[in-house]
Amino acid sequence: MRMLGKNGVRASLMALCAAAGVAATPAYSKTITIGIGIQNMCTDTYQGGTIIRGLKLLPKYLPHDGKYKDVKYKIVWRNYDSGGPITNMMIAGKLAFGVMGDYPLVVNGAKFQQTRGERSLMISFTAYNLDGAGNGIVVPVKSDIYSVDQLKGKTVSVPVGSAAWGMLFNMMKEKHYPKDYFHMINQGPMVGIAAIANDKVAAHADFCPMSELMEYKGTGRMIYNGAEAGIPYLHGVVVRKSFAEKYPEVVVGYLEALIKAGQWVQDDPQHAAKMISKWTMIPKEVLYLYFSKGGYLTPDPTFKPKFIKTLAYDHEVLMKYANMPPLDFKPWVAPQYLKAAYKKLGLNYEQQLKTFYHPKENIHLPDEIWINGEKIHQYANVAEMLKSYAQYKKAGKTIDATYVYDQKTGLKLFGKNAFYVEDGKTFDAFMLKSEADKYAKAHAGKVMTFAEVTKA
């Protein structure tokens, strides 16, 4: 891979400045405030906020030469429950950057284009799940509801304006449900989790990692995963256009930090999960489910055409169900800053642009056990994992989590929440009981819970 020299990088950034209409001089001699809206409770935003903040990456990549020689930076991090409030603060001029989910991203772009003077630019993605896993619908663990079809006339809570809110509308579209199929109410993640734990709502829809957090805590059971829609699950970053045009090198520096944050996660997912847990209070076991090899998320900031089409589809859904104003994608999507960041880091943007990871590639990955204080243990199949699980329990080991893969989608699951089909001496794991039932019927097998297979 060819690394650019200082002159090449400087020329590239000068070209970006010229494209943005920014003069190379005069030098700045002041403090530049960088307000960044993040979501510490949303795993798919971490590369754009929480990790950058936790590792103190941003100061390492902000410009300090040329017209920025005497500049001081004031970095202001603001944490929010969902993307909607971030957009409001950006429109009010209180934040320069915002990290949010797919549906909130298009809401951001559309709302900015309704203002008289200001616009936002989409400058990066963070991570993705190609099938759409990340959003989910959860019911209380003892509920007799196992399908979204059973939610007719019942109360379903969701953070309005979030990615999960958009997922609900898309699910209604795909299943041809009328708008009043269920009663939708607004509840933030923490309120929704409490409502499920106390059986106050029939179901709660939320973004990553709330569904898995409820399953991990034993208070909720997932009945619908966004992967069922087969539409990519995405998050990304937007910036106020006026800020980007005035300080393009700062935007590039931020994106360098974002790229490095994603690399850090992939280098050692178990270590990353433990560190991020300290910064967010999300259990490390839940974070590993998302960031490990075969996990829900694949870090990748590049502007894949498929993902832009997905955002356009998301916008169409919101126009139909939520009266969303139009969004002109052509001026909104701005990959030039990310391309400059890749070039500055000596990375190949075009090569990464062509790279995809499909969850179905996970199906034959090793099943895993996380023993407290130890590295992850891996096994060739579920039967071997269960055998070792029994041995570790007998030896008095503290088992933090077990992980298996859904045989239909390839999604990584907590072993304790999966449904298992016993077929002779083999076990196959499934996320949904309905899928396990179908497989068992076709293969003359028996459906079992984790408690049952660990007693066998």
The per-residue pLDDT for range 270-317, each reduced to its tens digit, is 999 999 999 998 999 999 999 999 999 999 999 999 999 999 999 998
Q: Provide the CA 7 distance to its chain's centre, in angstroms.
A: 36
Show the tokens assigned to 289: 């489910």
Q: Over 70: is that where the pLDDT of 13 sits?
A: no
Question: Which range is least confidently modeled, 21-35, 233-247, 286-300?
Answer: 21-35
Write out pLDDT tens, residues 427-437.
999 998 889 99
pTM value is 0.90
Residue 257, burial from CB neighbour count under 10 angstroms (0-12, 13-18, 19+): buried
Residue 413 has pLDDT above 50, yes or no: yes
**pLDDT at residue 6 greater than cutoff 50:** no
Predicted confidence at residue 99, as pLDDT, reads 98
Q: How confident is the model at residue 20 (pLDDT cuts 50, 70, 90)?
A: very low
- Mean residue pLDDT of the chain comes to 92
CA separation for the pair 313, 438 (Å, rounded): 31
Which range among 67-71, 149-153, 170-174 shows the weakest confidence by mean pLDDT? 170-174
Give residue 456's pLDDT: 66
C-alpha to C-alpha distance for 296 and 367, rounded to whole angstroms: 15
Nearest to 104 by CA among 120, 119, 89, 86: 86
Q: What is the pLDDT of residue 1?
A: 35
Tell me which DSSP letter residue 141 carries.
T
Q: Which residues in 208-366 belong to E strands, given as ranges?
A: 220-225, 233-240, 298-299
Band (398; pLDDT cuts 50, 70, 90): very high
pLDDT tens, 172-192? 988 999 989 999 999 999 999
